[in-house]
Structure 1
C-alpha cells in the first residue's frame, strides 16, 4: 500500500511494533486522519528477525520505497517492543545483570529481604548483594531515620568488590519524599563511590507499595545494560536511513519515552503491545467514536481484549501484576485473553467447538491453505464471500448451513462472554475488532453488550499496533500523600493537577492539548487529615519544539564495555531457563499436616492455605496477610518452629496473651513490619506480673490472623499459638471482641502496650472501659506512624475456652485448601461452593450474590473508611464454550444469562457490614435508591472473593469491573447473644434501621488437630 507524499513537510510519523511473531511498520500523516485511508501513507508486515534492527530497517525501508517518502519529511519514529520483557520472562543470563539493593528502611522490613518472594532461580540470577540501612519516612513525612553516608560508602565498597555495576536504592515512603530526597542523596554517594555504575531510584520506577516497587526497580536495573544495546540497535537503521528526528519507545500506558529515558526505565515498556493495539484501534474509528470502547484484538491463537477509556488510556490492572513469578505494582493494561484466533481448530461433533487449541504459526495446516485441519480461518471463508484468504475452493463443503450457523453462534458467545467480563457497567459499549485474525468474525455479527461493532477494513486492522505506536502521547502520573489539615482536598487536588500538567509539558507535550485525564483521592484510614492523590496528565507530542534529542550513535563507553565483559564472565555458569522452577506439587487428597501429641507443627503448605483463608475471613478488612506470610515463611526456612494447640487442651490456669497489629492498610503496604509485635509483648510484661504460656490472635481476619504464630515462634517468646481468636473474622475496633461481649470483667484490655518498632512505646496501665482503651490508642496511633504492634494482658485458659471463637486457624486452613484444590483442578467456577463446604456446608453459609462491581464510593469518618460497593448481577463463570448440554445452535447466547438479577450494595466500615438488594427509580428527575431484601448482615460474615481465582478482595481493592462472588457465613454463637449483636451487629455500624436475622446455623469449625493427631 502506498501513495506519493507532498515534499517539504516534516509531518509524517513512523510507528514500528517489534512483536514476538511479526514486526509491523506504518508511515502516517496525522493531518489526514479523517481521510478514507486514515492518512496511512504506507505499511509493512513481516516475521520478526533475530536482530530487531534488521526488522526495523526493513519495515521503514519498504514503507519509504512504496510511498516515495523522504527522510526530511519524518517528524518522529516510535517503536514498540517485547524485547525487554522477553529477557525477563526467558531468564536470559546474557541479557540480565546482577543487582545490588540498598534499602533505606531503618528497623523495618528486615523480615522480608529483597527478592524474598521471587522464584529461587530468578533470585539467584539477579540478586547479587543487599543491605538494610538507616533511612526512610513515615506516612506524614516525618523521618524514621536520616541516611548515614558512612554506612552507604561501606556497602559501596562491598558492591565494588563483587564487581556489581547495577544498584537499586529503595526508601520507605520514597514516592512522597520531596523534601529529604533520601534516595537521590544515597544515589549520588553510590555514583561517586562506583564511577560508571547504573543507579536506579525506586521512586522513579513505581509508586506506593514497598516490596512491589522494589521488585520493579530490581528488574529495571537488571536489564539496563541490555536496554542500552537494544535501543542503540534500534537507532542504527534510523541513522542509516538518514532520519534526523527523535526516536521514542512506547510504554505501558500508551505514552512515549525518549530513547534516553527508555535506557533508564526500560521496564516501562513491558506491556506496551496491547496498549498500542488499543490506541491504534481508536484511531481507526476516529470521527465515528469519541467515548470509552472495547478493543478486541484477534490474533492467530488468542484474542486479547482491553478497555480503552474515554480519556484515551487503557484501563489498568488491579493493584498488582505478575511477571515471571515476580510481583510488582507497576502499571500494566488490564487485558484478558481467550483461546480464539485465526488458527483456532474447529471440531464439528455433537457440539461444535472453536479452539482453544490452535494450529498457531502452522497456518498452512488449515484447509484453505491446502492442509487437513478445519480452522476458524476456513470458517471465515465459508461465512463471508468477501474474505480473501487462500483458496476458497479447498473449503467447499467443510460445513453445511447448520454448521456455519453453529460456528457463528460459538464465536458470538465467546466474544460476548469476554466483552461482558471486561465491561465496567451494564450499559452497552462500542466494540472494535482488529488484528490479523479479525477476519474470522462475520461482518454482520451482532454482539450482545455492544452498542455498535466496528471492524476496520483489512489491512489497516491488522497493523493497529504499529499505528498506535506512531500516535502515542506524552504523559505523567503522580502518586502522593498530602495533609488536608491546612488546605481543602480540592485546593490540594488543583495544585497537584497543575504540577502534573507542567511536568507533562516539560516532557514534551504540547500545552494546548495537555489536560488531566484521570484523578483519584483515597482517604487514609486511621490517619487524621491525610489522603492519597493519584493524578494522570497527558497531551499530544509538541513537534514544534526543537529541544528533542535526535538519535545518538555514540560507541559504548569504556565502562559499558567493562560491564559487558563482566556480565559474560559472571553469568557463564548460570543456565538460561524459560520457565520458573516448578513448585512442589502437593497431592491434596493424601496430604496430612504434621500433628503430634495434639500439637500442630505448621509448614509452608499449611501456611499458604491458612493465609488464603485468613483474608477471606477478613470480610473485606484486616489488611492483606501477604507480607506476614512472607515473614512466617522466612522463619520456617530458618528453622523456627510454629506450633498451634487446640483451645480445649488449655489448662484452666494457662496465661493466654493476645497479639494484634493496628494501623492503616496504606501504611502496611509501604512500611513493612519490624519487631513491633514482639516488642509490645516484652514491654507489656514489664508491667504485668504474670508471664504468658500461650498466645492468641486478636482477630483471624486479614493480616492479624497470622500474628499469634509469628509472635509465638519468635525467639524471645517461644509460645504455642491457640487455634482460635477473639473475633472469628475482622472488626474495625478493639472493643468488638468476644471477651467484651461476655463482659465477665471490665475493662478486659488494660493494661495494654503499643509500640511502633522505632523505639516509641505507649503503655496504658489503667482505663475506665474498653471503649476508652480504643480511643486512647487511636489518638496515639497517627503520631506513631499509623502502624503499631499491640499486646493485651493475658487471660486464663478457662476464660479462653469460654470466650474464644474456636478452631479458626483450622477453618482458615480448610478454606485455603479448597481454594487451592479448585485452582489445581481448574474448577474455580465452583470455588464458592467449595468454601462453603469448608465452613460447614449449606447450613452454615450461602452464596449471596454473583456479579460485577459497577460502583464504589469511599469517605473517611473518625479514622475509618466508610463506603458502599455496588454489584450488578452477572454470570461470572468463565466458561469457554456454549452450554454443552444443548445443541450449539439452539442456545447461542442465553448461556450467559446471570442467575442473580438486579443489584446489591455492600456498605462497609473498613469491613463489610451487609449485603442488601437495591432498586433505582427516577422521581422528579432524580434517581432514588430503594433498599430491598437484606441478604446478609453483621455479625454474620459478608465476604467478597474474586470469581476468577477465589482470592479474597479487601475493601481497599474494590474497583469497577471486577467479577466477584459474595459469600455469607453464619457468625459464631459467641456473637449471637443480645449483647453480641449490640456490639457486633448493625447498631454498632450506625445502621439501626436494620434487624439482624441469622442467614444460617453456625457450625463449629472442625479442628485440624482433632482430625490429624498422631499420638506418640
Structure 2
C-alpha cells in the first residue's frame, strides 16, 4: 500500500491506496502553523483507520508547501554564495538584481561574476577563471551555507559548472551543497540564476521537512520509501528532493490536477480545485497539467523552471461575504472556518454559508437561512468562476470541468464555457490522491545543431532525461519519453534548435 499526503493552506489531506489503486482510508485535518503538526495529524488518522493493515504501507508520497512558505515568509532560508560564470559579457546586471530587498538580505552571502560561460552552441566564451572562483569561495566561506553556480548557456554545455562544483568540494569540503543552474532551469540567464539561488537557499528547509516526515514515520514504526511531489505532477525520491527542493513549489496544484484525472477518468478537462481560501484552475492535457509558457514569479523573484499553468482566484469555502453580498473575498477565515462560519455557529458569513443556503451542500452543525445577501454572494461567486474558466479555456468550450477540493460544493452544476461539471467520488482529497498515484519523471533542456549532429544531440537529450527520471525514483526498465519538443532558434550564425525532453515512468519496485 501507499499513502499520499498533500499540505494545503487550509487543510492537510491524506489517503491510503492499495496496489489496485483502491482508496482504503482517507483523512482531512487542519494545516498547522508549523505545517508539520497537520502532516502528523493527517498521517496518524489514516494509519489509525487502516489499523493492522498499516504495516503493509511501503511508500509515502508528500506534496508540501514548506518551500513556498519559506520563500514567502523569508523564514528558514540558507545563506548562499552566488557565482556567475559570464564576465565580462554579463557584468551590466549583477546577480540578484530585481530581488525584493528583504529576500536578498536573507539569502545572499556574497555574489561575484567571473570569467567563463558558453556561446549558444556550447563553445566557451572564455576559459573558466579557476583562481577567481577560489578567491570568491575563500571570501564567502564563513557566511555561506550553500553555493549557487550559473553559467551563460550552461544548458548547452555544463562542463564549467561541474568544474566549479569540484573546486567547491576542494576548497570547502563535501559538506557544503552546490546548486548548478543547468540542473534547475532552462534558457534565460537571470531567471535560471534566480531559480538556482532559491534552490540553494532551500536546502535547510528540505532537510527539516525530510527529517520531520522521517520522525513521524518512525513514531509509527514504519520503514517506508518516501517521495516528494514536484511541479509537473510527478514524484521524486527523497534524496532527489533534497538536492532540488525548489521543484516542489508547484506540487499542490499539480497534485490536484493529477488526482482529478485519476478519480474522474477524464484526461482532457478544466479542473477547479476549491480550497478554503482560493480556487486554483488548471487544464489537463493527456492526464497531465498544462504547463505555463510564462516565467513563474515566486516571492517577488522571476524564475524559469517548469510550473503548471494555474489561475488562482480568491474564492474558497472560507471566503468572507461582505455586508450586502456584493463583494466576495479576498479575505478568508481559512482553517478557522469551523469556528467562525455561520454553518458552524460562528458570526462570519462565508461562501460555505452562501452555498449551504442555496442548497448546494449540507455542511456544518447549524442551519443557514437563505436571504438576499447570501443569494447575491452566490451570483457574484458564479460570475468569478465563469470568468476564470473563460480565461483558462483559451477559446475551447467543449471540455468538461472537474470540481475537486473540500470546497467544491460551492460551484454550480453548470458553467458557461464547459460541456459539463464532473464531481468524482473522493473529490475533496483529490490532491492527496494525485500524490499517491504519481509517476517519477526527469527533464532535460538543451541546444542542438539543426543540421549535422542533430540526431545524436537529441538522443543524448533523451538519455539524460531518462537518467534523471531514474534518479528521481523511476523503474529503469519502464521509463518512457512522454514529451519531446524542438523549437528553432533564430538569428544565429549556425542553425540550431532548442530541445526539451521529459521522461516518466512508474516507481521502481521496492526491494524485498
Normalised to the residue count of structure 2, the TM-score between the two structures is 0.92
Q: How does 1:183-582 map to 2 (within 5 A)?
A: 183-195=161-173, 196-286=175-265, 289=266, 291-310=267-286, 312-346=287-321, 354-363=328-337, 364-384=339-359, 387-391=361-365, 394-399=367-372, 404=375, 409-442=379-412, 445-457=413-425, 460-487=426-453, 493=458, 496-497=461-462, 499-501=464-466, 503-505=468-470, 507-510=472-475, 514-527=479-492, 528-542=494-508, 544-546=509-511
Distance 1:110 1:242, change over 3 A: same
Larger C-alpha radius of gyration, 1 or 2?
Answer: 1
> 2:460 and 2:182 mapped to 1: Cα distance?
20
**Preserved CA contact (<8 Å) 1:71 1:241:** no
The CA distance in 2 between the partners of 1:156 and 1:390, in whole Å, is 58
Structure 1 alignment gaps of length 5 or more: 1-11, 34-38, 548-1016
Decide whether aligned partners of structure 1 residues 156 and 338 sit closer, same or farther in structure 2, where only a CA change above 3 A counts: closer
Quote the Cα distance in structure 1 between the aligned partners of 2:318 and 2:96: 39
Report Cα offsets for 1:933-970 as digits up to 9, x if no partner: xxxxxxxxxxxxxxxxxxxxxxxxxxxxxxxxxxxxxx
Unaligned runs of 5+ in 2: none
Residues 149 and 161, structure 2, Cα contact 8 Å, conserved in 1: yes
Q: Give the secondary-structure state (helix, strand or coil) at the position aligned to 1:340.
A: coil
Distance 1:189 1:325, change over 3 A: same
State the Cα deviation string for residues 124-183 of structure 1 (Å, max 9, x = none). Answer: 2221222222221111122111223333222222223x34231112111111115xx111
Q: How does 1:877-896 map to 2 (within 5 A)?
A: none
Runs of 4+ in 1 over 6 A off after TM superposition: none
Cα distance between partner residues in 2 of 1:75 and 1:258: 14
Q: 1:40 to 1:69 in 2, by over 3 A?
A: farther
Aligned to 1:640: none
Residue 67 of structure 1 aligns to a residue in which SS? Answer: helix
Distance 1:540 1:519 in 2: 19
Residue aligning to 2:49: 66
RMSD of aligned residue pairs (Cα, Å): 2.6
**Are 1:132 and 2:113 an aligned pair?**
yes
CA deviations on 1:439-469 (whole Å, 9 max, x unpaired) are: 2224xx2122212211124xx2221121111
Q: 1:165 — aligned with what?
A: 145
- Aligned-partner SS, 2:103: helix
Contact 1:52 1:234 in 2 (8 A): no
The CA deviation at 1:188 is 0.6
Higher relative contact order (CA 8 A, sep 6+): 2
CA offset at residue 537 of structure 1?
A: 1.8
Alignment of 1:783-798 (within 5 A): none
- C-alpha distance in structure 1 between counterparts of 2:458 and 2:506, whole Å: 23
- Give yes or no for the alignment of 1:89 onto 2:78: no
1:13 aligns with: 2
> How many residues align structurally?
509
- Is 1:26 aligned with 2:26? no
Q: 1:425: how far off?
A: 4.1
Q: Does 1:175 align with 2:155?
A: yes
Cα deviation code 1:458-503 (max 9, x no counterpart): xx22211211111221111111111122156x77546644553454
Return the alpha-carbon distance in structure 2 between the equivalents of residues 53 and 367 of structure 1. 29
1:429: how far off? 0.9
